[in-house]
Chains A and B, each alone.
Chain A
Amino acid sequence: MRVNGVEEKLDVEPWVSLLDALRERLGVTGPKKGCDQGACGACTVLADGMRINACLALAVQYADKEITTIEGVTPHPLQEAFVRHDGFQCGYCTPGQICSAIAMLDEYAAGMPSAVSDGAPQLTEAEIRERMSGNLCRCGAYNGIVDAIKEVAG
């Protein structure tokens, strides 16, 4: 598996999740575990550029994929924008929010619609909220996150 550009050799049982492989076997703790069942998005990583919930993925399924975590996207303009707009408090959901936002902007650029799109999607606040709704923030920093994404999206 390639993780953040580095070839990693990993010998894990078939039931080990990608998230646990990253966190417990490789010590890549940027992706967080919040629910372990795909409900919170804290574990969001990029697999060949697509956002996935690493807790719902088995490590062995991703043996030939390029996995990018928050550590691998650093430095990214979204990180600075999150700080400037205070798009987090405790910081635990933040790596997942940022990885998710990176892929979300790519999805938007590729013309993918969302549930609230009406015709050709425009990156309105409603679009951003809809497309980011798989990433929970219990501290309630949603306004700041949307502002940070808007700023970086231009």
Chain B
Amino acid sequence: MTTTYAERTATEKYVGRPVDRLDGPAKTTGEARYAAEHRYPDLAYAALVHATVARGRITAIDTAAARAVPGVIEVLTHENAPAMKPFKVSLLDPLGAMASGTSVNYLATDEVHWNGQPVAVVVAETHEAARHAASLVRPAYQELPAVVDFSAEEPNATPQKRSMLLESEADKGDAKAALAAAPVSVDLRFTTPPHNHNAIEPHATTAAWNGDHLTVHEATQGIPWVRKQLALRFGVPERNIRVLSPFVGGGFGGKGPIWAGTLLAVLAARATGRPVRLALTRAGVYHTVGGRTPSTQRVALGADEDGRLTALIHTSVARTGRVGGWQEQITSASRHLYAAPNIHLRQHLVQLDLLPNTPMRAPGESIGSFALESAVDELAWELGMDPIELRMRNEPERNPVDGKRFARRFLREAYALGAERFGWKERDPRPGAMRDGRWLVGMGVATAYHPAMHMPVSAAVRLSADGGVVVRCAMAEIGVGAATVQAQIAADELGVPLEAVRVESGDSELPLGAMAGGSTQTASVAASVLAACRKLKQSALALARRSPDSPLRGRRLSDLEARDGGLFRGGSGETYAAILTRAGRDHLESEIKPGMLGLVGPLRDRMRWVKAACGAQFCEVRVDRDTGEVRVSRWLGVFDVGRVINAKLVASQLRGGIVMGIGLALSEETLIDPRTGRIVNASLGEYHVPVHADIPRIDVHWLDEPDPTMPLGLVGVGEVGITGVGAAVANAVRHATGRRIADLPITLDKLL
């Protein structure tokens, strides 16, 4: 038996429709307030001082010049800062290990663990004074040997047994022997650089203590983690801490864990007795918030002459920091995409004296799919076969590494629709054959794949006597349209107009648990909102049945329709407002609190099913035949993402992933000085995220087939869009130029 979920809401007036974002007016008028935009009468400003060595001890720290700056209130260093409690991992809460970005107990130690680690905090009356004074703090260091060069350290990599929550190794058959015996094979080595999230809002915290009670305005994807971490580190009960985060200016994983800025803002507020704002500088984000790991990968594929895979080998080396870091699932897609009888997957890690890496949109899959899907394309060239045909010949019936069933899989359909819409048959298969003036035109495809999950989260729904509905959930709004989607679901399950639904979110006083991560939030919250609405209808009916005057007397819920703001059968029934008013109640509320037991269903499902979002990415590039400049000129993606609740928001999420993927393919790279471990392009001027001019029209489609194992049949879409994008671009460049670029980003120097 599998856990099955209701596939539909009671009515479907809003679900599936391209409803405008409910917070649209707030965001387009400047009314939406972000974490650094809350005013306090005696607010002080904090600025960080960053270490300039990769590893060492602070032997002295001169703060005299900083203290002499007018307006400076305090300079906190390891010599005078009140101690925070150290970071601790609880065995009862293994996920909590991910809550802290690093294990460093800032300002409680003279140790430096990476170049850029905060070693002092200046608090001043103005933002300008704090920043200026921070530049005058002079630490002296005893430098210690540091290992910071990823490629030099790669030979010392050790096996990685696990990826965050997923398995990382797999062996089936004898892949090495099958590769050696294969009549056609490719064996490629890929490299991908570190990346940074670069949400346009830099991380910011506004912290105010009142005795041992704390209010924090925080830019976060995970309110529960912030509250729990702050309670642990500052030794106060969780109930004393209120975390407010109604709007977050982009996250992409970077605002998942708790980083130095958050802790030090709270510490500074405690030490000075003033409310403190700490908005990181852009460089400060690079130096204190981890990014994506770099990787080197090997993908080797063997096939018979008909293109049937006989061997798939995918191995990787990635890094973590010596003081933390996530183990990314780089070979994840290779577990699921191809029906090879012999498979060998391994991941390795090196530990460096750098700021630890952290999840960034599709950690592992985004770069792993670049290698795998580039190699598959190269095999198609070796075979002289169409790359879509090659993929279709190897489309598995069951999960290749373990034989588990797919909850659903419509990759064939995605490719068929994509090929038709994109005009794939217009593609001249010869490399360099398609031209447009000085541009060499190329077309490439790649498969997108991201695992689907959902988590137990709490949510409540309230019905008021005035007919209003309030959905209450401490979820994060990082841009996905969280409130809009949940309002659509609640409106349809209760049968009320969308305008009657208000969503309260982004506040730790609300039912907790939801986090925007792993593409899990929408489905997780939907399950609880749906359950809460059903309970609420039961309660409303029970209330009505107590009254001899109610037309609902003697009715069962299964006989009734939720519509027109109440429960009806044919022409008879009554509105929720009427039920509540007659009973003299001003509201009814039901809360779903699944707790840890709620994990049982999803985990049991995972034993039996492989669930995912997947899709087919189609890309057209133009490569300047003289300069090697690559422009993406067309994009089309067809995705299998279960039921779509809001077509407008899903399209935006998928497009956003593709845009970030185009950056990964062509321009994004965090440059780390291999001698000092310092990030040398810690700015938006020198780290090149895609701009308007880089992005063509992106055509996205989906198949709208509900996933029977997910709440409402929906699958998260936050990450699948970026997967496969790097490979689709590289494959189009291969087609345009005949050159296989295996090292990201595909900058023009690599094509000259």
Residues of A in contact with B (beta carbons under 8 Å apart): 13, 15-16, 20, 23-24, 27, 29-40, 42, 69-71, 74-75, 79-80, 82-84, 86, 88-95, 98, 125-126, 128-130, 132-146
Question: Do A86 and B657 touch (CB < 8 A)?
Answer: no
Is B425 close to A, CB under 8 A? no
Segment 9-25 of B: residues with Cβ below 8 Å from A: 20-21, 23-25
Within the assembled complex, what's the spacing in Å between the Cα atoms of A131 and B571? 58
| Complex partner residue of A132 from B34, B198, B250, B692, CB under 8 angstroms | B692
Contacts known (A138-B252, A141-B656); A94 close to B27, Cβ less than 8 A: yes
Chain B 99-141 against A: per-residue CB contact (8 Å), 1 yes, 0 no? Answer: 0000000000000000000000000001110000000000000
Confirm or deny: B489 has a beta carbon within 8 angstroms of a beta carbon on chain A: no
The reply to whether B689 and A32 contact each other, CB–CB distance below 8 Å, is no
CB of B500 within 8 A of chain A? no
Stretch at the interface among B443-451, B554-562, B645-653: B645-653
Asked if residues A141 and B652 are in contact (CB atoms below 8 Å), the reply is yes
Q: Which residue of B lies closest to A85 (CB)?
A: B648
Is B738 among interface residues, defined by CB-CB distance under 8 A? no
Interface size class of B (residues with CB under 8 A): 35 or more
- The A-contacting residues of B in range 606-664, CB under 8 angstroms, are 648-649, 651-653, 655-660
A95 to B31, CA, bound (A): 10
B residues engaging A (CB < 8 A)? Answer: 20-21, 23-30, 32-34, 36-37, 39, 45, 126-128, 197-202, 247-252, 279, 281-282, 477-481, 648-649, 651-653, 655-660, 683-685, 689-693, 695, 697-698
The answer on a CB contact under 8 Å between A140 and B21 is no
Q: Binding site of B, secondary structure by majority: helix, strand, loop or mixed?
A: loop
**CA distance in complex: A3, B34 (Å):** 21
**B200 touches which one: A27, A32, A74 (CB < 8 A)?**
A32
List chain B residues, Cβ under 8 A from A37: 282, 683-685
Interchain CB contact under 8 A, B651 and A40: no
Q: How far is the CB of B71 from chain A (nearest CB, A)?
A: 10
Q: Which of A27, A91, A137 contacts B27 (CB 8 A)?
A: A91
A46 to chain B: closest CB distance in Å?
13
Closest to A25 in B: B126
Contact at B693–A79, with CB atoms within 8 Å?
no
Can you name 12 extra interface pairs (CB under 8 A) apart from A33-B202, A140-B690?
A30-B29, A31-B30, A70-B30, A71-B30, A80-B28, A89-B250, A90-B200, A92-B250, A129-B695, A138-B250, A143-B697, A143-B698
A90:B478 contact, CB within 8 angstroms: yes
**Pair A29/B692 contact, Cβ less than 8 Å:** no
Q: What separation, in Å, do the CA atoms of A70 and B45 have in the docked complex?
A: 25
Ordered by A's residue number, 19 sampled pairs between the chains whose C-beta atoms are within 8 Å are A32-B34, A32-B249, A33-B36, A35-B282, A36-B281, A39-B683, A69-B30, A70-B28, A88-B28, A91-B247, A92-B34, A92-B249, A132-B692, A138-B197, A138-B250, A139-B656, A142-B695, A143-B697, A145-B692
Q: List, in ascending order, chain A residues with CB within 8 A of B247's CB.
A: 90-91
Considering the complex, give the chain A residue whose CB is closest to the CB of B24: A83
CB-based contact A93/B684 at 8 Å: no
* A-B pairs with lowest CB-CB distance, top 10: A30-B30, A140-B659, A91-B27, A92-B249, A89-B479, A90-B479, A83-B24, A140-B656, A39-B684, A70-B30
Closest to B687 in A: A39
* Known A30-B30, A36-B282, A89-B481: A142·B25 in contact at CB below 8 Å: no
